[in-house]
Structure 1
Amino acid sequence: MSTPFYVSPQQAMADRAEYARKGIARGRSVVVLQYTDGVVFVAENPSRALHKVSEIYDRIAFAAVGKYNEFENLRIGGVRYADLRGYTYDREDVTARGLANVYAQTLGTIFSSAAEKPYEVELIVAEVGSAPEEDQIYRLPHDGSIVDEHGSVAVGGNADQISSYLDQRHRDGMTLAEALKLAVDSLSRDTNGGERTLTAEQLEVATLDRTRPQQRKFKRILGRQLSRLLDEHAAEGDGKPAADADGGSGKAGASDEGADGKGTKGAKDKDDSEGESGPLL
């Protein structure tokens, strides 16, 4: 009988971590920034059916990069956790910190288990407070650790380069338009230092807006409103005034809907089986 091949626990964990990091790096980046009225999520995502940014609860949103079927399962689990906790106790008891702890336990258990491969995902959980200093942003890597972030954070793709760019330019008190412009500029930078143009059709943008009168603060920025915000700063860069494409505040182009956001648990969980193909996003 031959002797079984031995791999040290340290080497096995290092190999699993490298496997997960490579899968995450192949996904398109997601950027999350604080601005005056809340938190904005900007993802490079040309798909209109598969969302990388989603609502979890009243003041909480979720962003992810990596394998869609894996982070979609985590999103659905987070929605169920939040709904159950809010129904059993109180809606104020559902917090981003509690949700991040649940995700950390799940990811940590999967990563340390030798029976299955680690999840190729990296998550961001954010909660908007009543004031900017009360906002919370947590980044959860593949191994289940929790990183408390402030100001800006990027995951997936060339996240290190994007994070460095954001750290140098992000500041407190930015407007939504300024934060969006900074996020798009950071996503437009290639690993070799070049730049490319990202259009509204290639972006997925959402906010947690503390100024909304509704209990639910999550809002997607779509269509004409997103195009107007992008064109506005493109025109400023050329030294020309921007035309208001929708003839007003642009709210007609905004939508609170999405594949995840009809406002009830059933609507959020309706697409439990959509992600089986597992594309990298």
Structure 2
Amino acid sequence: MTVPNFGLGTFRLKDDVVKDSVRNALEVGYRAIDTAQGYGNEGEIGEVLAQSGVSRSELYLTTKIKPDNYSADKLVASLRESVEKLGVDHVDLTLIHWPAPKGPVRPEEYLTALADAQQQGLTKEIGVSNFTVALLQNAKEILGDTQIATNQVEIHPYLQNRTLAEFARAEGLHLTSYMTLAVGKVMDDPVMQAIAEKHSANPAQIALAWALQQGYSVIPSSTKRDHLESNMKALELILSDEDMAQIATLDKGGAERLANPASVAPDWD
């Protein structure tokens, strides 16, 4: 199993909105769906999957354990509940959603419990999200021979996370980019617009292609069918070295970080 390079994100999508998004995504060709316990939409996604007619073997389902469920006596049971809500017998990938360095549960406990969930067959692969270089090094020590399938982190043209990216590349660790479009900011950026015009594309497609070209997986979300379909065209784009160099100049580092909840966020690289 490997993490697909392109999938649907469902953060902030709930009730009929998430149902419509997942239904449309499946109809236009998406087969990887990313959710989380904290999103409160696993049940709705499960309903759509059951009605879709898409074979389970074609789907790649990712969920994330929320910090409230990190303790050894809760994690496996909470994942079993997530699997039931999604209407399947296992998920393909389960992530620790946030490292929660100020929380009561240490990495040794929640990572060991996550590996146990994998041994029990509730998830095929395991990984982490929002982990820094130091946290990844610690996770690798704790998990030993158990592979970390991906580290899902905020990466977009304005926060390129280069220290983490260089470490991951050197260690052979896969990264998944979330918020790749910087919550729509790329659409109004003159540099992104100029590159898009050159490729007869739009800035969203360029941002996604930029991430894909660096080997990251992407999980853009949308509530509009035409945007879902349009985003997939990023898979066909090949950016030039000049394009990539121009996008590199947009990096503003931590000043452009969008996701940084104080209670669970680490000391970023």
**TM-score of Structure 1 vs Structure 2, range by shorter chain:** 0.3 to 0.5
Higher relative contact order (CA 8 A, sep 6+): 1
